[in-house]
Every structure is written in C-alpha cells, then in structure tokens.
Structure 1
Amino acid sequence: LSLKDADGKVSVTFGILFSDDRCANIFEALVGTLRAAKRKKVVTYEGELLLQGVHDNVPIQLLKDSV
C-alpha cells in the first residue's frame, strides 16, 4: 500500500514495506537496499537506520521512479 501526497509523491511506511511478502522476496536485505537508495537520492526517510518494530511508522518517500 502506498499513498500519494499533495505533490504527487509516493510514500509507504517502513512497517508496510517490511511486512510485504513480495518485497521480502525481492529485497533480501531491505534495510541495506533502502540505505543505498537514500544515498543515491531515490528515496528519503527520517534517520539513517530503520529497524522493524521501532520504525514501522516512518514514511519512506519515493523521490524518483527510475535510476
């Protein structure tokens, strides 16, 4: 489940992304993948490291849809 904000940007919370079976099968190391995507300015989220449970409500915003 993702949502578009007023600017048309797509975002999803870490908890939803982490618990999605399709995502888990595609990205074995989700946290590392997100950190790399953040460094390349593909996504943005608050903080550096996201942990299941603690950061389930942190929104991850897609900045660009192709690299």
Structure 2
Amino acid sequence: MNVDHEVKQLVEEIHRLGTKNADGQLSVKFGVLFADERCANVFEALVGTLRAAKRRKIITYNGELLLQGVHDNVDIVLLQD
C-alpha cells in the first residue's frame, strides 16, 4: 500500500471521527480510531500509518508507539490537511 495514500485516508478518518479540541484543532482518541470498523478495514497497519503521518508533521500525539488498551485515551491531533 502507498504510504502517502494511507496518510490521506487517515486524515479523512480523523475528519470523520474527530472533534475540535480547546485549541480549535481536530483530534480523535487512539482508541476510537483503533476500534472503528471502517478504520480496521482500511488500514492494514494503523500504528505504522500514524507514525508515518507524525514523521510528516501531519498529526501529533504523545509518545512514539501506541498500543491498544494502554494508549486508548491518547489524543491524535491533526496539524494539517
């Protein structure tokens, strides 16, 4: 799968599932993304896609590696579309 394409799909899913935070930025909890059925079908490796998007400064979140359960409440913040 093309990484650029998956990152664009991730941005679309954050728009679909996210809400505006106190700073006016769109954000979504990792657990919401991970548990979403559509995301499960679209992303073969959600964590890898998140890391690629973070390296490109499209999103940000605390930490390096997100794990289901442990990091469900971590906010993933969209920095750019």
Residues 1:57 and 2:77 are matched in the alignment: no
Residues 1:34 and 2:50 are matched in the alignment: yes
Output the TM-score relative to the length of structure 1.
0.91
Output the TM-score relative to the length of structure 2.
0.76
* Residue 7 of structure 1, CA deviation: 3.2
Q: Percent identity?
A: 74
CA distance in 2, matches of 1:7, 1:55: 22
Aligned residue pair count: 65
* Residue 5 of structure 1, CA deviation: 1.9
2:28 equivalent among 9, 12, 25: 12
* Residue 26 of structure 1, CA deviation: 1.0
Name structure 1 gaps, 5 residues minimum.
none
Bigger proportion of residues as helix? 2
Which structure has more RCO (C-alpha within 8 Å, separation ≥ 6)?
1
What CA RMSD, in Å, does the superposition of the two structures yield over aligned residues?
A: 0.9
Name structure 2 gaps, 5 residues minimum.
1-16
